Amino acid sequence: MSIVELSDADFEGQVLHASQPVLVEFGAEWCHPCRQLEPIIDELADEWGEQVKVGRLDVDANVASTMRFGVMGVPTLILFVRGEPVERLSGFVPKKRIIERLGPHLGL
């Protein structure tokens, strides 16, 4: 499963109205911890397949969505289920911790 590049213009349709849970990585090109997190997010997208949509949002280019969800630092991961943010992780987080925190919301 590939990562969806998100923007303010398509955030509502791609995330808030999605039929499956959506994990969004709020990040930035200049952010070193974001780059460290990217391979983990890629692995999770592959492992979760069609069960979970995974997307990335550049906070510098998409200020409206960033502000709407109160993202104050990058990287921030937010899991949306039925259009609602149900879990949030900030900073670099190891894969095991991401799975521990998000798994219960995903039935994994």
Residue (of 39, 36, 52, 76) closest to 1 by Cα position: 52
pLDDT of residue 107: 84
Determine whether 101 is an active site residue: no
Q: Which domains does the chain have, with CATH numbers?
A: 4-106 (3.40.30.10)
Q: Sorting pLDDT into bands at 50, 70 and 90, what band is 77?
A: very high
Measured between alpha carbons, how far is 105 from 92 in angstroms, rounded to an integer? 20
DSSP 21-83: -EEEEEE-TT-HHHHHHHHHHHHHHHHHGGGSEEEEEETTT-HHHHHHTT--SSSEEEEEETT
Determine whether 11 is an active site residue: no
Query: Catalytic: which of 6, 18, 23, 31?
Result: 31
Percent of the chain at pLDDT above 90? 94
pLDDT of residue 45: 95
| pLDDT tens digits for range 78-89 | 999 999 999 999
| pLDDT tens digits for range 37-52 | 999 999 999 999 889 9
Query: Catalytic: which of 6, 22, 24, 34?
Result: 34
Burial class (CB in 10 A: 0-12, 13-18, 19+), 41: buried
| pLDDT tens digits for range 2-19 | 899 999 999 999 999 999
Residue 108 confidence (pLDDT) above 90: no
Q: How many CB atoms lie within 10 A of CB 88?
A: 14
